[in-house]
Structure 1
């Protein structure tokens, strides 16, 4: 029979072993061959694909892929062209010639087409749809790919589905927050990961950014979490943020639902239910009016802010979401 001391030592040894196994998995198994499980690994092109079927304009598609740690996919080789076209016709109707946006564009200079990775069109296999390219009304600077593998030029402001792609040999590795983004840091007090965005965006774009990164605008659930965000905010003095905007307040995940003073979290809970509702003195005041989106002062207290004006913002991420998967390779 084990003595209490021997039992304790055995338990401690097992705990240490689990800790080192976790570290081993983090540094070796979740390396450059691991990525988000909402992407599918393709061994033919040695990369990860995600087909986003909700149409977006080209600029939002490019941004969405970049925020997810990928690029807007382009048929930069015959292999890529073949694999991308497999995603396009989800209905199975080959006559539909459904189009998706590619990462090939001429938004920097008219007619100077390159992929988002910087590959010029002259180095990309070109199979054009009938009567394309035509640069209709001199407004078509983005390329689509249809289910036949043919390219066409369209306006970048139109909307199409798209595919994000991440090469398996990318150097960035998955961190403790389950992301390749090193700016997300895990805080042991809340077991959540946070990122402070110094590039100001309006509330809608801030929400979009956090969502694409696998998180959400930070929702404060306790005084402790308010302290965590206050300390995070303190790391970013106003002088470290570029642009003409208010730098002492940052968007978080609460807003007024339109019924005056009914502030709730982006997950639908009242501030009482979330566990934190301490506003700064005199707030909320719906100044001028139109302040229907929630923010946090450097003091850690809440404020109501204009939704349509840019501000820095804080994203929160569950370290276990999205799930991380390892590429099935022969290596």
Structure 2
């Protein structure tokens, strides 16, 4: 347990390592001089690869104890938290490329990282441990990458970083004057659920069509990118793009991801004979898609991947006044 004097000291250190008002990256990250960048603690435990993907979608990477300053900062973050984080957090140090060959996400080899091992570690239990945990006392241990743990994302300071009109450092978001929203077309396919996570991590959400004007804007956006043709063998239509509506109760009642019916949202124009709940191995279609024509089409939530469109407001990542 951390006593009151220690707690006050930790808070003071965290204050001293932060740059007042320096939130250039995004509002939910904390700036620190110690690590020359910004960090964000994720308390909800996930697998190592999911943690890596979440940080990547936020424009960051998994934080690693690269030197004494990084170790100090990671210990301070953990000391001011509680719950499952006390059992250790994932670092960005891994051997997923080649068994036993550890390096950080940035490519720094383990031999260059000031690691203090926990008692009995590393042990590569059952020859199945390729990710490294960091503990509150500064020691580390190798673990199975499929365990679920909290983690810290890190963005190295880049003094050339500027926010666009969309309030993000992600240059792929563009402001649409007709709707007042910003959109990003993801050409690399993901399952609907993965796409939902990616948009949320970027400070937005899977695009929701609210009217004919927005439908036209998304139609024009999708037309700029070639189709993948991945699901052509399952449908007579061109490849759908994943967007933000869902068959919540799997009873063919469709709502947006913000809880409105399609009618309330303002757009419910389905393609001919859709939604049809087509089956693949008894798996129905309960997620939302949009054809290149901007007409709606139900799609499979898992197994198949789709290009997708994220939408965000220009203010979503900016600190509140």
TM-score (norm 2): 0.86
In 2 relative to 1, CA 204–142 (structure 1 residues): closer, same or farther, beyond 3 Å?
same
* Residue number in structure 1 paired with 2:124: 135
* Residue number in structure 1 paired with 2:315: 320
* Residue number in structure 2 paired with 1:311: 306
Counterparts of 1:60 and 1:92 in 2: how far apart (Å)?
Answer: 22
Counterparts of 2:180 and 2:144 in 1: how far apart (Å)?
Answer: 44
Match 1:79 to one of 69, 74, 83: 69
Which shows bigger deviation, 153-162 or 194-203? 194-203
Instruction: For 1:205-244, list aligned pairs within 5 A.
Output: 205-238=194-227, 241=228, 244=230
Q: CA deviation at 1:89?
A: 3.5
Counterparts of 1:121 and 1:44 in 2: how far apart (Å)?
Answer: 21
> Counterpart of 2:75 in 1: which secondary structure?
helix
Match 1:158 to one of 124, 127, 147: 147
Instruction: For 1:33-72, list aligned pairs within 5 A.
Output: 34-72=24-62
Match 1:297 to one of 270, 282, 291: 291
Question: With CA pairs under 8 Å and 6+ residues apart, which has the higher RCO, 1 or 2?
Answer: 1
> Counterpart of 1:34 in 2: which secondary structure?
coil
Counterparts of 1:234 and 1:64 in 2: how far apart (Å)?
Answer: 28
Counterparts of 2:284 and 2:319 in 1: how far apart (Å)?
Answer: 40
* Residue number in structure 1 paired with 2:242: 251
> Counterpart of 2:185 in 1: which secondary structure?
strand
> Counterpart of 1:282 in 2: which secondary structure?
coil
Match 1:204 to one of 193, 200, 216: 193
Counterparts of 1:97 and 1:226 in 2: how far apart (Å)?
Answer: 47
Is the 1:102–1:144 Cα contact (8 Å) retained in structure 2? yes
* Residue number in structure 1 paired with 2:258: 267
* Residue number in structure 2 paired with 1:99: 88
Residue 272 of structure 2 is aligned to residue 278 of structure 1: no
User: Where does structure 1 lack aligned partners over 5 or more consecutive residues?
Assistant: 1-31, 326-331
Q: What CA RMSD, in Å, does the superposition of the two structures yield over aligned residues?
A: 1.9
Is the 1:107–1:141 Cα contact (8 Å) retained in structure 2? yes
In 2 relative to 1, CA 144–264 (structure 1 residues): closer, same or farther, beyond 3 Å?
same
* Residue number in structure 2 paired with 1:18: none
Match 1:184 to one of 168, 173, 178: 173
Q: CA deviation at 1:90?
A: 4.0
Counterparts of 2:123 and 2:183 in 1: how far apart (Å)?
Answer: 46
In 2 relative to 1, CA 171–136 (structure 1 residues): closer, same or farther, beyond 3 Å?
farther
Is the 1:65–1:72 Cα contact (8 Å) retained in structure 2? yes
Q: CA deviation at 1:183?
A: 1.0
Counterparts of 1:63 and 1:170 in 2: how far apart (Å)?
Answer: 24
Residue 196 of structure 2 is aligned to residue 173 of structure 1: no
Counterparts of 1:307 and 1:286 in 2: how far apart (Å)?
Answer: 11
Counterparts of 1:121 and 1:282 in 2: how far apart (Å)?
Answer: 57
> Counterpart of 2:149 in 1: which secondary structure?
strand
* Residue number in structure 2 paired with 1:146: 135
TM-score (norm 1): 0.83
